[in-house]
Amino acid sequence: MTKALKRAQRDVLVRLSSENRLTPDEVIREARSQKSPLHSCFQWNVEKAAMIAWRQQARDLIASFTITVVREEREYHVREFVEMPNKPLGTQGYAAFEDVKSNPKMARRFMDDQIRTAVSYVEIAKEYAGALGLSERVAEAIEKLKELREIIHNSTAA
C-alpha cells in the first residue's frame, strides 16, 4: 500500500467523521465504488466474505459459553472454551478451559498468553494516556503486569 493510498483512505474517514457518518456501514457504502480508495480494503468476493463472517460468528459462539470455577471458596466466571495456548500465529484452535486448568504446563502458557495480550492492550492505552496527560499510572500498570507474567512463567503450580 502506498503512502498516497493510505492518505486517501484517511481522507475519506476524516470526511465521514466530520459529517458525523463514521460508522462501519457508511465505510462499506463508501468502499463499494471501485474508484474509492477504501475499495481494496474489503473482500468483495461474496463466498470469501461469507467465510470471513462465518468464522467470526463461530468465534463469537465459542466465546459465548461460560462456566463457574470454584477455587478456595471463591467463584470465578470464565469462558468455557479458550484459545489454545501458544498456537502458531494465524492458526485456529480452542480448548476446554477445564483441560487447560488440569494441565499445569498448558495453564502457565495460557496465562502467559493472557497477560501478554493484556500488556499489549495496556501499551495502547498508555499512548492514549500520554496524549491525555495520564501516562504515569498506566506505566505502573504495565510494569505490574510484566511482573505478574514473570511470576506465572516461573511458577510450578497451576
Number of compact structural domains in the chain: 2
Please check whether residue 31 lies inside any domain of the structure: yes
Please check whether residue 120 lies inside any domain of the structure: yes
Q: Is residue 27 located within the same domain as residue 89?
A: no
Q: pTM for the complete prediction?
A: 0.77
Please check whether residue 15 lies inside any domain of the structure: yes
Please check whether residue 130 lies inside any domain of the structure: yes
Please check whether residue 48 lies inside any domain of the structure: no
Please check whether residue 56 lies inside any domain of the structure: no
Over 80: is that where the pLDDT of 155 sits? no
pLDDT tens-digit series, residues 96-151: 999 999 999 999 999 988 988 888 998 898 899 889 988 877 888 888 888 888 88
Please check whether residue 126 lies inside any domain of the structure: yes
CA 32/CA 46 separation, integer angstroms: 13
Across all residues in the chain, what is the average pLDDT?
92
Please check whether residue 68 lies inside any domain of the structure: no
Percent of the chain predicted with pLDDT > 70: 98
Which candidate, 115, 77, 116, places its Cα nearest to that of 97?
77
Domain that holds residue 25: 3-42
Weakest mean pLDDT among 38-42, 70-74, 85-89 = 85-89
